[in-house]
Amino acid sequence: MRKRNDIAWLPLNSLRALAAVHETGSVGAAADTLKVTHGAVSQHLRGLEDRLERKLFTRSGNRLVMLPDAADLADNLLQNFRAIAGDIVQFRRDENILNITVTPHFAQHWLLPRLGEFLQHHPEIDLRINTDATVHDLARGDFDAAVRHGDGNWPGVNCERLLEGWDTVVAAPSVLESVSIQTPQELTKLPWILDEDRDIEMSNWFDDHGVAHQAHTRITRLPSALTLVAALDGHGLAWLPHVYAAPYLTSGRLVQLLSDDRWQAQNTRHYYLCWADNKNRPAFRTFRQWIRRQLPD
Task: Please indicate whether residue 186 or residue 14 has the higher confidence score (pLDDT).
Answer: 14
Q: For 170-212, how does the pLDDT look when each residue is reduced to its tens digit (9 = 90+)?
A: 999 999 888 888 888 888 888 888 887 777 777 777 777 777 7
pLDDT tops 50 at residue 7: yes
pLDDT tops 50 at residue 1: no
215: confidence class by pLDDT, cuts 50, 70, 90: low
Q: In this predicted structure, what is the pLDDT of residue 219?
A: 78
Q: In this predicted structure, what is the pLDDT of residue 89?
A: 60
Q: Which domains does the chain have, with CATH numbers?
A: 7-94 (1.10.10.10), 96-164+269-293 (3.40.190.10), 167-266 (3.40.190.10)
pLDDT tops 80 at residue 31: yes
Q: For 123-175, how does the pLDDT look when each residue is reduced to its tens digit (9 = 90+)?
A: 989 999 998 878 888 888 889 999 998 888 888 899 999 988 778 889 999 99
Any idea which of 11-20, 71-80, 84-93, 250-259 has the lowest mean pLDDT? 84-93
Q: In this predicted structure, what is the pLDDT of residue 264?
A: 58
pTM above 0.75, yes or no: no
Q: For 36-94, how does the pLDDT look when each residue is reduced to its tens digit (9 = 90+)?
A: 998 898 899 999 998 888 899 888 877 888 999 999 999 999 989 888 877 776 666 57
In one-letter notation, the amino acid at residue 281 is R
Q: In this predicted structure, what is the pLDDT of residue 289?
A: 95
Q: In this predicted structure, what is the pLDDT of residue 115?
A: 92
- Looking from the CA of 230 toward its CB, the CA atoms found within 13 Å total 20
User: Mean pLDDT for the chain?
Assistant: 84
Q: In this predicted structure, what is the pLDDT of residue 15?
A: 92
Task: Please indicate whether residue 40 or residue 241 has the higher confidence score (pLDDT).
Answer: 40
